[in-house]
Structure 1
């Protein structure tokens, strides 16, 4: 197809980009680190840059772009954005993976080239070890001076080969590898182990390394602030010394995964090792000016040199957009919250599912405290931290199995749903490994899906939308895909207990949803939380956004760890605050605790004021 001259190219699907985004997009001669705050549109920027490179021929056929994200939904989201903007033959050259999926693809393709004694068999088994599994290993092999956390981290960071000598920790790592390969009928490998295998593979095979360089002259890295030591080492082994141009995006003020192994200085390391130019985006497309000003006050406490962002969203509400609501008792707090939300919903200012109540911990206790008052006002509070079976609702909603089944059931419950149809086709394409270029294969997938939709509609017409029908309806959807196909496609489901955990959670939540619905479509709305107010923990709010956010419990008992010298706690606080598009409020109940003085000293000069219960409800 015809290409566009770089100077004539325009953004696809959006009106324009901010000047600095243009600068980062057009930087194709050297690596670039794009630091972007909350609401800056980091994923959209990557999609636009990929489109620019593909449509102008700056990434010419048959060369490809490699994009690496941390979560599968983020990788898929990015791929879908590029597919919407590019011709199919261009979009096929955009390969979007998670770190784990990319590493696994290389092991599977070049397994025979992995040096002995680390070469895995073709039928190796993917596992997700728990902390207890490492403890059991240490006990069995009598490593008394090493704990499970130390072993887990050392396995993820050790460079192969590991000699069975030296410190007790090194000997434990070497013994662990030996035990995985020699101690049982099959070879179980975790994703951290596969990461280490790939690093060894490409380090010791120059021909594979060269092929990688020829295939991927462009590499994208999303959410770079969460990169681990092992992942960064793999990147260096793969692309150091090559002509590949890397683009990393992230926000160091949103670094909340150091506890899980994220590098504390990922940005500085990237700049140093890849000679990257740093470009900071300054527009915030999520929040309006008054909220952005307060966000900047918190950001400046984290990084005194941070630039003030430009708010690009419109303010759509009147009155206070940020305040500390003060209550004497917890009952007063619950009643006033319910009354305020009821009024806002009835006045048409906000939909219930566009409100989130954030707690630092103990969501179940808060649910018990708030639910009666909310129910009295006709409001539905949904604690997404609550377990259905053995899985939290929010975790269940993010599962691949859940998303696949929901799309299929939506197609069966509605007359027409182009969005779910296209998504279901992508699901089938992934699950059955059908090449997008295979027109015959694509046609067969469409025919199979059409047949299923007809059958699913007949099934749902036959089944009354009552809790007793949940299992049969869900089974009809999963039978179309095939349980074994799902378990083979997703490593997290290969252990039967792990698959059952998600499957049982899905059917249980569907049963619950059918208690509040008159139709299958309404039940699926209920399942996804429409018309319900979300209650969740601070950490689970990352990646989400809501019209109105209410922080429950800004006091020194709830936030005892929010101290000036604990930066990661302040990062978590900042991440949660920036989820708000229009309003962010805090509740302070003196029956529960006293103010966090230094946080109030930070926020009140930025425009927050204390509002008593009488003023809140009477206003």
Structure 2
């Protein structure tokens, strides 16, 4: 395909970018740190920069762009945006991973090159240890002078091999590695351990390091404020001396992962180590002016020097756009929330799936509290933190396998769906690595998809939309793709355990969805959460946006750590508030706890007041 001259290139699929974004996009001679507040379009900026580099040939074929995000859905979203703007042969040179998936892909691909005794068996399992698991290990092995927090940090930062002598902490880490490999039927690895294996792998194998340098001259880093010490160390190990140009984007005001090991000074470290130029974006494309004004009050408390953003969205609602809703009891809170949402949905102000209920933690407990009241009002509450099999619903929806299968089953369930047809065709082009210039190949692919759609429609017509039919419908779509083709395109599914985790979750959620629908099309809507109110934690909401956000539990018991001297908790408050496009509300239940006075004092001047919603909804 012919390349475009850099001076002739224009943003793709959007009307325009703000001038500062264009400056950061065209900076290709040195690394850039792009600081961007909520709603600034960080993902769109990265997609546009990737498109610029690919379409102009500044990232020359066959070299690739490596993009690393923190969440699977963010990585997929970024890849999809690039695929929409670039032809397949260019989009295939954009590799979008999470940090965990990138590390795991290297371990799986080069497992045989990992030095003994750290070489994991092919059937190792990924585990997610809790803090209590570390404490239990230390107690069982009688490491009395080591606490769980120290131990967890040491595992994440340890340089392999770890000596089984020295301090108690060193001996504990060495014992933990040995136990994870030898004390169970399967070898068990956490993602911090995978990170350490990758660091050992590329340190001990210069040929793998050279391959990384030759493959990726450009590296994107999303949500860089959440980068851990170990992740930053791995980036340096992998790319120092390679000449790679980095583009990191993030927002210090949304740094809410310090508790999980995120560097408190990530931006300064990046600027210093990569000699990066800092460019700040100021547009807010998500929220309207009234919300942005309130957001800026919170942002200024976090960083007194922060620039005031420019609101670029229109206000589409009347009445309050932000308030603290007070309730006497939790039952009153549940009933009033359900009644208010029901009224807003019935009046056409908002669709259920454009409403999110955010919680600080314990989403399962909040689901138990709210579900009956919502059901009594004809509302469906979907806890996306809930597991189906061994995978959370939100994670499942971000899987490549899920998206591919959904589009194929959609084509069989609907008479006509151009959007899913085009998306499925792009999937096939990617899976088959088909050249866009291969007209015969393109025609063959379209004919093959047409035959599948006809067959899938016959299959679904013969299958009642009941839970027992889920596995057969899903298998028909998978058979069309071919498991080996899928694994070749997506290395994350090469291990049977990893594939089974997603496949089982997909079929289980499809079974659940068929319990609540009368048609296959309705079941797929149910699967994707259409018509349902999302319930999730603040941490899982990062990167998402909703018309209306309701934060459940702004009280001094639920959010006991929200104090003036704990910046990370105010950052979490900021993240919750900035998920809203049109309205953001908080609930305060006096049965559960007392007001957080200093937050209310902060929000009162821009007009966020406490009101009794029970009086309001009863009017």
TM-score bracket relative to the smaller structure: 0.7 to 0.9
Which aligned pairs between 1:507-546 and structure 2 lie closer than 5 A? Answer: 507-546=507-546
Task: State the 1:228 CA deviation.
Answer: 1.7
| 2:295–2:578 CA contact under 8 A, matched in 1 | yes
Q: Deviations over 1:131-167 (max 9, x none)?
A: 3886787688775655666555433322234334322
Between the aligned partners of 2:486 and 2:214, the Cα distance in structure 1 is 33
| 2:156–2:230 CA contact under 8 A, matched in 1 | yes
| 1:126–1:491 CA contact under 8 A, matched in 2 | no
1:14 aligns with 2:14: yes
Partner of 1:124: 122
| 2:126–2:188 CA contact under 8 A, matched in 1 | no
Determine helix, strand or coil for the equivalent of 1:212. helix
Between the aligned partners of 2:104 and 2:246, the Cα distance in structure 1 is 21
Partner of 2:319: 319
1:415 aligns with 2:418: no
Q: Deviations over 1:178-199 (max 9, x none)?
A: 6777889997665444433433
1:230 aligns with 2:215: no
Determine helix, strand or coil for the equivalent of 2:604. helix
Task: State the 1:279 CA deviation.
Answer: 0.9
Partner of 1:459: 459
Equivalenced residue count is 614
| 2:72–2:398 CA contact under 8 A, matched in 1 | no
Task: State the 1:380 CA deviation.
Answer: 3.1
Partner of 1:170: 170
Task: State the 1:601 CA deviation.
Answer: 0.4
1:471 and 1:337, CA in 2 relative to 1: closer, same or farther beyond 3 A? same
Between the aligned partners of 2:80 and 2:103, the Cα distance in structure 1 is 21
Q: Deviations over 1:30-70 (max 9, x none)?
A: 11101111111111101111222222333333433222223
Determine helix, strand or coil for the equivalent of 1:169. helix
Between the aligned partners of 1:234 and 1:15, the Cα distance in structure 2 is 38
Between the aligned partners of 2:67 and 2:369, the Cα distance in structure 1 is 44
Between the aligned partners of 1:492 and 1:516, the Cα distance in structure 2 is 30
Task: State the 1:474 CA deviation.
Answer: 3.6
Determine helix, strand or coil for the equivalent of 2:584. strand
| 1:125–1:189 CA contact under 8 A, matched in 2 | no
Which aligned pairs between 1:148-163 and structure 2 lie closer than 5 A? Answer: 150-163=150-163
Q: Deviations over 1:302-326 (max 9, x none)?
A: 2222211111011111121111223
Between the aligned partners of 1:420 and 1:587, the Cα distance in structure 2 is 39
1:578 and 1:370, CA in 2 relative to 1: closer, same or farther beyond 3 A? same
Between the aligned partners of 1:29 and 1:252, the Cα distance in structure 2 is 25
| 1:124–1:189 CA contact under 8 A, matched in 2 | no
1:616 aligns with 2:604: no
Q: Deviations over 1:284-319 (max 9, x none)?
A: 100011101111111122222221111101111112
Which consecutive unaligned segments of at least 5 residues does structure 1 have?
none
Task: State the 1:393 CA deviation.
Answer: 4.0
Between the aligned partners of 1:218 and 1:602, the Cα distance in structure 2 is 42
| 2:69–2:223 CA contact under 8 A, matched in 1 | yes
1:414 and 1:271, CA in 2 relative to 1: closer, same or farther beyond 3 A? same
1:378 and 1:178, CA in 2 relative to 1: closer, same or farther beyond 3 A? closer
Between the aligned partners of 1:463 and 1:51, the Cα distance in structure 2 is 43
Partner of 1:406: 406
Partner of 1:270: 270
TM-score normalised according to structure 2 size? 0.87
Between the aligned partners of 1:499 and 1:136, the Cα distance in structure 2 is 30
Partner of 1:568: 568
Between the aligned partners of 2:242 and 2:362, the Cα distance in structure 1 is 49
Which aligned pairs between 1:548-563 and structure 2 lie closer than 5 A? Answer: 548-563=548-563
My pick for the range that moved more, 223-232 or 502-511, is: 502-511
Determine helix, strand or coil for the equivalent of 1:548. strand
Partner of 1:350: 350
My pick for the range that moved more, 145-154 or 376-385, is: 145-154
Task: State the 1:427 CA deviation.
Answer: 5.7
CA RMSD of aligned residues (A): 3.6
My pick for the range that moved more, 16-25 or 4-13, is: 4-13
Task: State the 1:17 CA deviation.
Answer: 0.8
My pick for the range that moved more, 254-263 or 280-289, is: 254-263
Q: Deviations over 1:468-524 (max 9, x none)?
A: 43344344445555678879967689575x876655554444344334322110121
Q: Deviations over 1:88-139 (max 9, x none)?
A: 443333333333443445456666665x446848x63442134388678768
TM-score normalised according to structure 1 size? 0.87
Task: State the 1:611 CA deviation.
Answer: 2.7
Between the aligned partners of 2:242 and 2:493, the Cα distance in structure 1 is 34
Between the aligned partners of 2:174 and 2:326, the Cα distance in structure 1 is 57
Task: State the 1:6 CA deviation.
Answer: 2.4
| 2:127–2:189 CA contact under 8 A, matched in 1 | no
| 2:218–2:245 CA contact under 8 A, matched in 1 | yes
1:117 and 1:337, CA in 2 relative to 1: closer, same or farther beyond 3 A? closer
| 1:213–1:244 CA contact under 8 A, matched in 2 | yes
